[in-house]
Structure 1
Amino acid sequence: MSAISITAILQAKPGKEQLLYQELVKAVTPSRSEEGCIKYVLHQSIENKAVFVFYEIWKDEESINFHIETDHYKQFRRNIEGLIESRQVYRLQEVDS
């Protein structure tokens, strides 16, 4: 089975951009240290500072399932709950060309 990529797009509620940024940054290091994590990168939109994008690559579905059950991820989700206007998550797999 090939690696699974995830693109998660989060938009901060008006006035919550800095608070959301601080919470998102906290998620990076513990997520990167997980065994099945190949890549975990946080981006911020140049055009709209309220939009943040995580680009993640995980070894397999089992690694993703482990990630979402970690204490740090559960705490992260609780911490951002009141800060986000919208959240879109796409699970992607590479297409052979």
Structure 2
Amino acid sequence: MSKVYVIAQFKAKPGKEQQLFEVLKALEPDSRAEEGCLQYILTRQIDHPSATRSDYTILFNEVWADAASWSAHGERQAIRDFFAQQVVDANGLVADAQVTAYTDEGFC
């Protein structure tokens, strides 16, 4: 089985970036303890001459042992609640979110 590399990017609503960062930061400890979690790091965008800027200024950089582990993570109540309350709900802190998954397997 191949590892799954996930980038979960969040665009905060105006004036809500710090609050969103704190809400997401609270998800780290339990997520890191999940079976199959190899890396789960919350990061913020920085200015750097070698980088372009994005409206998605907060992101999780995740590595999972396999697709089943990542799927189980998405089914956890805390993760489901976050997306329901902060992404889907019009009163949430997130203006938009993008979650992408990758593998290191080559093409045959």
Q: TM-score range by the shorter chain?
A: 0.7 to 0.9
Query: What are the superposed Cα offsets for residues 32-63 of structure 1, whole Å, 9 maximum, x if unpaired?
Result: 00011010011101136971011000011110
- Opposite residue 54 of structure 1, the aligned amino acid is F
Residue segments in structure 1 that go unaligned for 5+ positions in a row: none
Map of 1:66-81 to 2, 5 A cutoff? 66-81=72-87
1:86 to 90, 93, 96: 96
Share of identical aligned residues, percent? 34
**3-state SS of paired residue (2:29):** helix
Give the Cα separation in 2 of the matches to 1:68 and 1:50.
Answer: 20
Give the Cα separation in 2 of the matches to 1:65 and 1:29.
Answer: 18
Give the Cα separation in 1 of the matches to 2:25 and 2:73.
Answer: 16
Map of 1:53-72 to 2, 5 A cutoff? 53-72=59-78
Give the Cα separation in 1 of the matches to 2:99 and 2:78.
Answer: 19
Task: Name the counterpart of 2:33.
Answer: 33
Query: What are the superposed Cα offsets for residues 5-28 of structure 1, whole Å, 9 maximum, x if unpaired?
Result: 001111101011121011110111
Rg (Cα) greater in structure = 2
Give the Cα separation in 2 of the matches to 1:50 and 1:4.
Answer: 21
1:68 Cα offset (Å): 0.8
Higher strand share: 1
Task: Say whether the 8 Å CA contact 1:8–1:54 is kept in structure 2.
Answer: yes
- Opposite residue 100 of structure 2, the aligned amino acid is Y
**3-state SS of paired residue (2:70):** helix
